[in-house]
C-alpha cells in the first residue's frame, strides 16, 4: 500500500487506510488510503487541496454519497475517497422565491420525511431510493414518472480545480438516470423548487411507495439497486432490463456469493462475502445472455469504479 505523499498533510478530519465496503450498500469495496468524510463545504475544499498536493489522478479518487449505486473494485486501494456525510444536511428556505437550498449529503429518506413534515409536495417519489441528495442529482435517480432533476433548479459545488460553480437545470440537460453534471464537480448544495401540498397525503404516498418495494425488490440482501438502465430507442424491445435478464434465464445465476436475484432479475445481491469479481461476473453473464438472446446491449446503471479497462471490455459500447 502506498503512503500519501510526504509533503501533503492529511486533513485533520480524514482517516487513513479505511475500508470502503461499509460505505456501500452492496458491502463491497477496496480501501481508501485517505478517507475524508465531509460535513461542510470547507471539508470538501480541504479534500480538494489534499488531492492537488498529493497529485492524485482521476483513477485514484472516488466521490461517494450514500454508496447506493456503486460497485467498487476491491482488488485495489484508492488514494482519496471523499464521502459526503449524512450530517452535511442543512435545509435553508427562501420563502419569497419558493426555493430550498439543501446540503447534498442529506440522506434521501430523511429528505422525504423532512419535506412531508414541511408539507412540500413532490419529494415523496424518493422514498425507497436510498442514498444522498448529491448522488440522486448525479444519477438523476427516480422512478418511472419522476426523476430528481424534475425538482431541482440548480446544483452547486466545488470542482477538483478548486472553483465554486453553479449548474442550472437548463445547462445540465439531465436525462434518464444521468445528471450530466461536469465530471470534476463535487455537488455540495442542491437548489430545489418547493410547492405546498397536503402533509397527510404526502406522508401516505411516501409510505405506500416505500412499502410497495418490499414485494418487488430483494431488500433483505445488500445490493446497488438496478444493475442496468432500462433500454430505450430504436433497438429496444419494449422490455425492461429485468424482464430481458429474466427471459434470458439468468434469475438465480450465482458466482461466489454474488447472485442475480430470483425476485427481480435487474438486482444483483451480495449473499455474504461477494467480491467485486463475483459481482462483475454476474453483470457480465446478464449482459452477454441478453445480447445473445435479444440482441440488446444493456448499459450499466451501477457505477463501476476502479476496474481495469480489460475487465470492462465485455461492455462493447462503453
Ligand X SMILES: Cc1cc2nc3c(=O)[nH]c(=O)nc-3n(C[C@H](O)[C@H](O)[C@H](O)COP(=O)(O)OP(=O)(O)OC[C@H]3O[C@@H](n4cnc5c(N)ncnc54)[C@H](O)[C@@H]3O)c2cc1C
> Site map for ligand X, 225-254, x if CB under 6 A?
x-----------------------------
Nearest distance in Å: CB 143, ligand X: 5
Of 251 and 293, nearer to ligand X (C-beta) is 251
Interface residue with ligand X, options 4, 130, 174, 231 (CB under 6 A): 130
Minimal CA–CA distance to 84: which of 105, 57, 107?
A: 105
State how far the Cα of 252 lies from the Cα of 259, in Å rounded to an integer.
Answer: 6
State how far the Cα of 58 lies from the Cα of 44, in Å rounded to an integer.
Answer: 16
Is 15:85 a contact under the CB 8 Å cutoff?
A: no
User: How many CB atoms neighbour CB 27 within 10 A?
Assistant: 17
143 near ligand X, rule: CB under 6 A: yes
For the chain, the C-alpha Rg in angstroms (whole number) is 20
**How many residues at the interface with ligand X, by CB under 6 A?**
33
213 counts as catalytic: no
177 counts as catalytic: yes
103 counts as catalytic: no
102 near ligand X, rule: CB under 6 A: no
Is 26:259 a contact under the CB 8 Å cutoff?
A: no
141 near ligand X, rule: CB under 6 A: yes
Of 33 and 177, nearer to ligand X (C-beta) is 177
Interface residue with ligand X, options 14, 138, 245, 285 (CB under 6 A): 138
70 near ligand X, rule: CB under 6 A: yes
Q: Identify the active-site residue in 132, 147, 226, 261.
A: 226
The span of 60-68, 192-200, 269-277, 279-287 binding ligand X (CB under 6 A) equals 60-68
**DSSP E strands, the chain:** 14-19, 31-38, 61-64, 70-72, 77-78, 80-84, 91-94, 99-103, 120-121, 152-159, 164-168, 185-193, 195-196, 223-226, 254-255, 258-260, 267-270, 303-305
Of 25 and 118, nearer to ligand X (C-beta) is 25
> Torsion angle of alpha carbons 68, 232, 294, 70, nearest 10°?
-10
Of 255 and 302, nearer to ligand X (C-beta) is 302
Interface residue with ligand X, options 14, 28, 84, 279 (CB under 6 A): 84
* DSSP SS3 for 61: strand
State how far the Cα of 315 lies from the Cα of 318, in Å rounded to an integer.
Answer: 6
State how far the Cα of 134 lies from the Cα of 64, in Å rounded to an integer.
Answer: 9
Of 86 and 311, nearer to ligand X (C-beta) is 86
258 near ligand X, rule: CB under 6 A: no
Question: What sign for the dihedral angle of Cα 263, 228, 107, 206?
Answer: negative
State how far the Cα of 19 lies from the Cα of 35, in Å rounded to an integer.
Answer: 9
Interface residue with ligand X, options 4, 134, 300, 306 (CB under 6 A): 134
Q: Which residues pair with 207 in a beta bridge?
A: none
> Site map for ligand X, 17-46, x if CB under 6 A?
--------x---------------------
Nearest distance in Å: CB 134, ligand X: 3
| Binding interface with ligand X (CB under 6 A) | 25, 63-70, 84, 104, 129-132, 134-136, 138-139, 141-143, 177, 185-187, 217, 219, 223-225, 303
Give me the active site residues, please: 177, 226, 301
Amino acid at each position: 500500500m502506498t503512503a500519501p505523499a510526504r509533503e501533503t498533510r492529511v486533513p485533520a478530519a480524514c482517516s487513513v487506510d479505511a475500508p470502503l465496503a461499509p460505505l456501500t450498500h452492496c458491502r463491497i469495496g477496496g480501501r481508501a488510503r485517505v478517507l475524508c468524510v465531509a460535513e461542510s463545504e470547507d471539508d470538501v475544499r480541504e479534500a480538494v487541496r489534499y488531492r492537488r498536493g498529493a497529485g492524485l489522478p482521476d483513477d485514484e479518487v472516488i466521490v461517494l454519497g450514500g454508496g447506493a449505486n456503486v460497485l467498487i473494485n476491491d482488488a485495489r486501494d484508492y488514494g482519496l475517497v471523499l464521502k459526503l456525510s449524512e450530517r452535511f444536511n442543512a435545509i435553508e428556505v427562501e420563502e419569497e422565491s419558493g426555493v430550498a437550498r439543501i446540503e447534498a449529503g442529506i440522506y434521501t429518506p430523511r429528505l422525504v420525511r423532512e419535506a412531508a413534515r414541511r408539507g412540500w409536495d413532490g419529494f415523496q417519489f424518493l422514498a425507497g431510493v436510498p442514498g444522498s441528495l448529491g448522488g440522486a442529482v448525479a444519477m438523476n435517480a427516480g422512478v418511472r414518472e419522476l426523476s430528481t432533476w424534475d425538482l431541482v433548479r440548480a446544483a452547486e459545488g466545488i470542482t477538483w480545480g478548486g472553483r465554486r460553480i453553479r449548474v442550472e437545470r437548463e445547462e445540465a440537460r439531465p436525462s434518464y438516470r444521468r445528471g450530466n453534471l461536469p465530471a470534476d464537480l463535487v455537488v455540495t448544495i442542491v437548489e430545489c423548487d418547493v410547492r405546498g401540498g397536503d402533509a397527510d397525503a404526502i406522508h401516505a404516498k411516501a409510505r405506500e411507495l416505500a412499502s410497495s418495494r418490499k414485494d418487488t425488490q430483494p431488500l433483505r440482501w445488500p445490493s446497488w439497486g438496478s444493475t442496468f438502465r432500462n433500454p430505450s430507442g430504436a433497438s429496444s424491445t419494449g422490455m425492461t432490463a429485468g424482464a430481458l435478464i429474466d427471459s434470458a434465464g439468468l434469475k438465480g445465476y450465482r458466482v461466489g456469493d454474488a447472485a442475480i436475484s430470483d425476485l427481480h432479475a435487474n438486482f444483483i445481491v451480495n449473499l455474504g462475502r461477494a467480491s467485486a469479481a463475483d459481482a462483475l461476473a454476474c453483470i457480465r453473464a446478464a449482459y452477454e445472455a441478453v445480447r445473445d438472446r435479444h440482441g440488446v446491449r444493456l448499459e450499466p446503471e451501477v457505477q463501476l469504479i476502479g476496474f481495469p479497462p480489460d475487465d470492462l471490455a465485455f461492455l462493447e459500447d462503453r
